[in-house]
């Protein structure tokens, strides 16, 4: 291939593998070499296994030589250390390996293995996914590659996922999203993160945070890659070409985007808001319908997520039932926050679940005159890690990180973030699109239209200076 795999779409890499112009072993060795070059500094992985990757690549080459070439055959993939993966311990960001059942392939990992994907290793996560900025005292925090001098946060809880993509050790990074844990790190690292509609994909084999809100999915370098991933793995499709054909029938212009009037936009950092307004303005100039909608419902959903205690109650109930010995060894920041979670089934929890149902019943009005809503994916520049050691500073940063993404989760909507520029500090700015429940295909089509209008991350942003 003329370019390194990091600069190619997954579809082009897969085509090169099928044609024999590239072998899975060559691709794996390239990924291993990239990790060797950047891994120690960027710290994306809790565990990286070069030998198991080489074995998987050799098996993939045997399949490719037989003409057995599913979409992800030979493609390097990183996996958040919340997923069960055969051959790897699962720590879920904690100080101790979880019991044996969590070493079996999760549903999404198994589907990728069936297609011949090459698992490179397990990326860092916030402990039990209970945090949005990406820190972890047990294992250390990955380094955001967009600052060559200062160790800045990557966002969480899928904190190592986006870093693994820029590092070049994976072309797909599996993550999970409860209140923003795919979208937040995608926004902070200049990658693409798709929160799939809740319950569309099985969370079997993934350590739970909130059964009410948890979703699985991935981070990719481009929207095109996100479409390839979704089309390849979604049970309704199983073929990225069929999904691509459907998306081709959607209008590239004339889409309607609404900017909600809400505190998320009001409180967004000025230089980030300027980049986002500029991107939306360019969409309007390209023929999109750009309007406004009352976003009070989003503010109500955000308040419920932050104060209702649904995720905390469900996480604590899981720990008490399945991992009681882990409670006393929790990171103090995570432990102190979970200690204040309401009881599962108690009055506050039941009231919050009922309130959520009420809010979800009102979502249709958000899309009465819009195909998608436009929001920031991150409201502030990723902070230097050194500034977040204090519990109060951590808490404030955590709330700021969750505010723009948690409403879509609480309301049962699907959402995606993609990079559209750099802020005044040279850090990525993510534009978040939100669509109705079950409209993942239309959401991906709208994001693809943006990427084609504005350019993918490597064209729009360049390469991170920290690489």
- Give yes or no for residue 252 having a pLDDT over 70: no
CB 80 within 8 A of CB 139: no
Query: What number is the average pLDDT over the span 374-383?
Result: 98
**pLDDT, mean over the chain:** 96
- Banded pLDDT at 248 (limits 50, 70, 90): confident
Q: Do residues 445 and 224 lie in contact, with contact meaning Cβ atoms separated by under 8 Å? A: no
Residue 121: both structure tokens together: 């290793």
Mean pLDDT, rounded, for 224-253: 90
For β-strands 289-294 and 372-376, DSSP reports them as: unpaired
d(CA 218, CA 354): 30
- Of 154-168, 249-263, 358-372, which gets the smallest average pLDDT? 249-263
Per-residue burial over 357-389, b if 16 or more Cβ lie within 10 Å, else e, is eebbeebeebbeebbbbbbbbbbbbbbebeebe
Residues 6+ apart with CB under 8 A from 390: none
pLDDT digits (tens, 9 = 90+) for 388-421: 988 899 999 999 999 999 999 999 999 999 999 9
- Cα angle, residue 22 at apex, residues 18 and 23 outer, rounded to 5°: 85
Residue 222 to residue 228: CA distance in whole angstroms: 10
Q: What is the mean pLDDT of residues 153-169?
A: 98
CA–CA separation, 400 vs 199, rounded Å? 27
pLDDT of residue 2: 54
User: Which pLDDT value is given to residue 250?
Assistant: 74
DSSP assigned state of 152: B
Euclidean distance between CA atoms 250 and 230, whole angstroms = 17
Q: What is the pLDDT of residues 294-309, one digit of tens each?
A: 999 999 999 999 999 9
Tens of pLDDT, residues 341-378: 999 999 999 999 999 999 999 999 999 999 999 999 99
Q: How confident is the model over 310-326, as pLDDT tens digits?
A: 999 999 999 999 999 99
**Over 80: is that where the pLDDT of 3 sits?**
no
Give the pLDDT confidence score for residue 70 in this predicted structure: 97
Q: Where are the alpha helices (DSSP H) in 94-171?
A: 107-114, 161-167
Nearest to 416 by CA among 390, 448, 394, 384: 448
CATH superfamily of the domain spanning 5-460: Amidase signature (AS) domain (3.90.1300.10)
Query: What pLDDT is recorded for position 106?
Result: 98
The answer to whether 181 and 213 have CB atoms below 8 angstroms apart is: no
Two tokens at 280?
Answer: 């939306």
Coil/strand/helix, residue 390: coil
Using alpha carbons, list the distances in angstroms from residue 287 to 282, 435, 442, 450, 453. Answer: 9, 19, 17, 12, 11
Q: How confident is the model at residue 240 (pLDDT cuts 50, 70, 90)?
A: very high
Between residues 265 and 4, the one the model is more confident about: 265
Q: Is 399 exposed, middle or buried (0-12, 13-18, 19+ CB in 10 A)?
A: middle
Q: Mean pLDDT across the stretch 241-259?
A: 86
- The set of long-range contacts for 462-467, using a CB threshold of 8 Å and a minimum separation of 24, is 463/166, 464/145, 464/146, 464/166, 464/190, 465/145, 465/146, 465/147, 465/148, 465/426, 466/41, 466/42, 466/143, 466/144, 466/145, 466/146, 466/147, 466/148, 467/38, 467/145, 467/166, 467/167
**pLDDT in the model for residue 4:** 76
Active site members = 80, 157, 181
Taking only the tens place, the pLDDT of each residue in 103-149 is: 999 999 999 999 999 999 999 999 999 999 999 999 999 999 999 99
Structure tokens at 293: 């909608």
Please report which confidence band the pLDDT of residue 93 belongs to, taking 50, 70 and 90 as the band edges.
Answer: very high
Could you give the CA distance from residue 243 to residue 179 in angstroms, rounded to a whole number? 27
Q: Which residues pair with 429 in a beta bridge?
A: 421
What is the mean pLDDT of the segment spanning 151-166? Answer: 98
Return the higher-pLDDT residue of 459 and 264: 264
- Residue 321 has a pLDDT of 97
* pLDDT score of 254: 79
Q: How many CA atoms lie within 13 A of 102 on its CB side?
A: 17
- pLDDT > 90? residue 1: no
d(CA 250, CA 445): 7
Sequence spans of domains, the chain: 5-460
* Cα 309 to Cα 326: distance, rounded to the nearest angstrom: 20
pLDDT value, residue 206: 98
């Amino acid at each position: 291939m003329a370019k390194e795999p990091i600069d190619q779409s997954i579809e082009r890499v897969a085509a090169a593998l099928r044609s024999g112009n590239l072998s899975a072993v060559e691709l794996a060795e390239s990924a291993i070499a990239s990790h060797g070059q950047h891994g120690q500094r960027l710290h994306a992985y809790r565990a990286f296994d070069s030998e198991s990757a080489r074995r998987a690549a050799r098996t993939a080459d045997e399949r490719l030589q037989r003409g057995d070439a599913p979409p992800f055959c030979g493609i390097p993939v990183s996996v958040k250390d919340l997923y069960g993966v055969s051959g790897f311990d699962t720590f879920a960001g904690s100080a101790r390996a979880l019991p044996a059942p969590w070493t079996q392939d999760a549903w999404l990992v198994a589907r990728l293995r069936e297609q011949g994907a090459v698992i490179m290793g397990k990326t860092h996560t916030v402990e039990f996914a209970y945090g949005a900025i990406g820190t972890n005292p047990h294992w250390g925090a990955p380094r955001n590659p967009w600052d060559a001098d200062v160790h800045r946060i990557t966002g969480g809880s899928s904190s190592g996922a986006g870093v693994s993509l820029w590092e070049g050790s994976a072309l797909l990074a599996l993550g999970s999203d409860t209140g923003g844990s795919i979208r937040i790190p995608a926004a902070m690292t200049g990658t693409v993160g798709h929160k799939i509609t809740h319950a569309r994909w099985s969370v079997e084999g993934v350590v739970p945070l909130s059964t009410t809100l948890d979703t699985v999915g991935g981070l990719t370098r481009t929207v095109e890659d996100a479409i390839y991933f979704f089309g390849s793995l979604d049970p309704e499709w199983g073929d990225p070409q069929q999904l691509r054909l459907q998306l081709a029938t959607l209008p590239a212009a004339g889409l309607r985007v609404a900017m909600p009037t809400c505190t998320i936009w009001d409180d967004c950092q000025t230089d980030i808001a300027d980049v986002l307004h500029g991107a939306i303005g360019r969409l309007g100039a390209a023929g999109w319908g750009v309007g406004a909608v009352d976003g009070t419902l989003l503010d109500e959903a955000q308040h419920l997520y932050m104060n209702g205690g649904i995720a905390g109650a469900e996480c604590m109930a899981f720990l008490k039932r399945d991992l009681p010995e882990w409670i006393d060894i929790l990171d103090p920041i995570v432990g102190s926050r979970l200690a204040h979670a309401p009881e599962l089934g108690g009055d506050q929890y039941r009231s919050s679940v009922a309130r959520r149902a009420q809010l979800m019943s009102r979502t249709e009005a958000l899309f009465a005159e819009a195909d998608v809503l436009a929001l920031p994916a991150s409201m502030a520049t990723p902070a230097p890690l050194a500034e977040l050691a204090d519990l109060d500073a951590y808490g404030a940063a955590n709330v700021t990180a969750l505010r723009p993404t948690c409403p879509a989760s609480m309301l049962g909507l699907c959402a995606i973030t993609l990079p559209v520029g750099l802020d005044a500090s040279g850090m990525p700015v993510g534009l978040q699109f939100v669509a109705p429940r079950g409209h993942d295909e239309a959401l991906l089509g709208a994001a693809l239209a943006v990427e084609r209008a504005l350019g993918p991350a490597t064209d729009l942003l360049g390469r991170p200076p920290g690489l």
